[in-house]
Structure 1
C-alpha cells in the first residue's frame, strides 16, 4: 500500500516526540499490514518519551514507538494463510527467534534474542503498522477497540499475578499504574482473600478501589510495613506483586512477604537496587520471580477469557481517550500520574 500516514516519532535523543507524516510501511511475505483503530500509552513508552537512562541504553531514534493496539488487517503477505484482510486483531509484542534454548523448550516469553515492537522495531503509534503474522492475536468482534488495545499490558498483569496460586491468599500490589490496577482486578477474580494496593497517588488508589482492592494504602501517609503487620496479625502477605520499580518499595515488598511467600517483580528499576538477601529472602525461604512479557499465547487466552466472562472489568482504568494529534497531553497525564490508561485514536 502506497501513501503517507500520521505517526508519533521519537525524533531525537532527548525529551519528547513529534507527530509526522511518514511512509505507510511495506510488508514482506510473512507479514500483515494493520490499520490501527486504537493504541494505548504504556509505561515503557513514557520511559522512551522522557528519555531516561533505560531508554538511552536501549532505543535508537528516529523511529515510530508504541506497542499496544487494536486494528483491522488490510493486507497480508503471500505466505500468510491463517489471517485474512478484515480480521480484527491485536498483537503479541515480543518478537522471538524460535531457535534459542528457551524457544526450543516452549519458553518463548524469555527468548534470549527477544525484540520488542515499538522499542527495537517500528511501532504502532501510527495509522498503520506492519507485523509478523505469527504475532497476531485475533479479537472477538464484540470487544471494543479501546479495551482490545490494552490486552497486551493486561497480559503482564495476568502473568505476574497468576505465576502461582493466589486463591485464598493475601496479595499485595505495590504500584498502581495501569498494569498494577489490572493486577488488582486479576487477583480479585482469581479468588484472593485480600488485595492490598499501595501507591503514592490518591487518584490511582481510588481506581484501585474500583478494581476491587480490599485495602488501599498511600505510602506517603502510612507506613506500609505497619499496615501489613496490622492486617495480617504480624504474619505478612502471601504474595507480593511489585509494579513500582522504586528501590524503597521493592525493599518493603521483600520485608512484608511472609516466610515461604512469593515476590513477583514486573517493574523495571532504572538503577541497581540494594536488598537484604540474607534476612529478607534466604532465611525466610522466599521465592522471587522476575516477569517479562506474557506466556505466548497462554496468557493471551487467559486475558481473553477473563474479559469475555466479565470477571475482570477494565473500563474503570480507561480514563482518557484522545486523538493521536493530542499525544503530548496523554504523555503529560501519564508523567503526572493523573490518569489510568490513555487511549489514542489515529
Structure 2
C-alpha cells in the first residue's frame, strides 16, 4: 500500500510502498483510511525538531487524525462490522492502569500515540484496537470527520470552564483556537476576544465568529482587553498558542478570580510564568491534554450531526495524498486552517 513515511532522520517525508498491516490481536480492527488531516504534531515530525529527534523512531508511518471504513474485525470485536465509518482517538490506552480504571483513559500511564509511538494513518490501511474507534453517523461529511480529533481538543478545553455569560479571551487562532470560537459561543460565552498575529488566521477567526480580534504585535493585548471589559478583564482565558508571551499576557488580562484553560504546548520547559499575578488574582488554572474518552467525542458527534458546528471555514485545503509536501509547506507558513489529505476513495 501507499504510505507517507518518515523513512530517515531529517526534514520531510517520503511517499513509499509498504506492507498492508494485518490484524494480530483479537480486539483489533483493520480500517481503510479515506481522509487524514495534518496536525501540528505531524508538522513537528516533518521539521524533525528536537522533540521529534528524541521521540520518533524511523522508519515510521506518520499521521493520526483520520476517518475510514472498517474492512475487517478481530474475533473479539463486538461493536463494529465491515462497512462502518469510523474516526479514531489518537491516544491508545492500556486499559489496566489506575487512570484507565478511574475514567481517565486520555491520560493513561502507559499510553501509546498513533503516528508517534507506532505507525500512523497516512496510509491506505491501518490496524488499531477497537477501543479507540468511534462509529460515525452517516450524515457527518467525511472531510469533517477527519477533524473530529482536534475538534475534541477544543471541546475539552472550552468545556473545562462554565462559559455562560462570560467574556472569553482565546490566545492563538490556529485551527484549534479558531474552532474554539464556535465552541465557546455554543457553550454560552457572551463575548469572544481572540489574540492572533497571523493575518490569515485573523481572517479565519473572523469567519468563525469572533467578536473582537487583537493583533498583539500592533496593540497591547492587556490594555485592549481592559478597554473592552470596562477595565475588569476577561473572565476566562483559553490558551491555544503555546507562546509564553501570550500565556502571560492572557493571565494579566484576566479578571480577579478568573479561570484559565491551557492547551498550548510550549517550546521550552519550564515556561516563564506570571505566577505572582496568578496567585494574587486567585486565578484557577486548568491544564488540558487530548480529549476525554469518550465524553468529548459524543459532544463533537452530536454538534456535527445537528449542524451546531460548521467546520467548512476551518478546512481550507483538501489535497490528494501525493501532494502531502504542499500541505506541510502550507501548514508551516501558517496560511491555512486544517488541511485534509484524501488517502482513498
Normalised by the length of structure 2, the TM-score is 0.97
State the alpha-carbon separation in 2 of the partners of residues 169 and 20 from structure 1.
50
1:141 paired residue number: 138
1:196, CA displacement in angstroms?
A: 0.7
1:31 paired residue number: 28
Q: Which one of 169, 174, 180 corresponds to residue 172 of structure 1?
A: 169
1:9 paired residue number: 5
Structure 1 runs, 4 residues or longer, greater than 2 Å off: none
Normalised by the length of structure 1, the TM-score is 0.96
Q: Which one of 121, 124, 127 corresponds to residue 124 of structure 1?
A: 121
State the alpha-carbon separation in 2 of the partners of residues 270 and 14 from structure 1.
19
Instruction: Give the SS at the match of 1:78.
Output: coil
1:20 aligns with 2:1: no
2:9/2:48 contact within 8 Å kept: yes
State the alpha-carbon separation in 2 of the partners of residues 282 and 153 from structure 1.
31
**Matched residue count:** 341
1:275 aligns with 2:263: no
1:57, CA displacement in angstroms?
A: 2.3
> Which runs of 5 or more residues in structure 2 are unaligned?
none
1:54/1:270 contact within 8 Å kept: no
State the alpha-carbon separation in 2 of the partners of residues 318 and 152 from structure 1.
14
- Please show how residues 209-228 of structure 1 align to structure 2 within 5 Å: 209-228=206-225
Instruction: Give the SS at the match of 1:289.
Output: strand
1:283, CA displacement in angstroms?
A: 1.0
1:298 paired residue number: 295
1:53, CA displacement in angstroms?
A: 2.0
- Please show how residues 195-214 of structure 1 align to structure 2 within 5 Å: 195-214=192-211
RMSD of equivalent CA atoms: 1.0
Note the alpha carbon deviations across 1:248-288, whole angstroms, 9 max, x for none: 1111111111111111111111212111212x211111111
Instruction: Give the SS at the match of 1:19.
Output: strand
2:312 paired residue number: 315
1:53/1:270 contact within 8 Å kept: no
1:264 paired residue number: 261
2:139/2:305 contact within 8 Å kept: no
1:201/1:337 contact within 8 Å kept: yes
Instruction: Give the SS at the match of 1:316.
Output: coil
1:205, CA displacement in angstroms?
A: 1.1
State the alpha-carbon separation in 2 of the partners of residues 304 and 255 from structure 1.
35
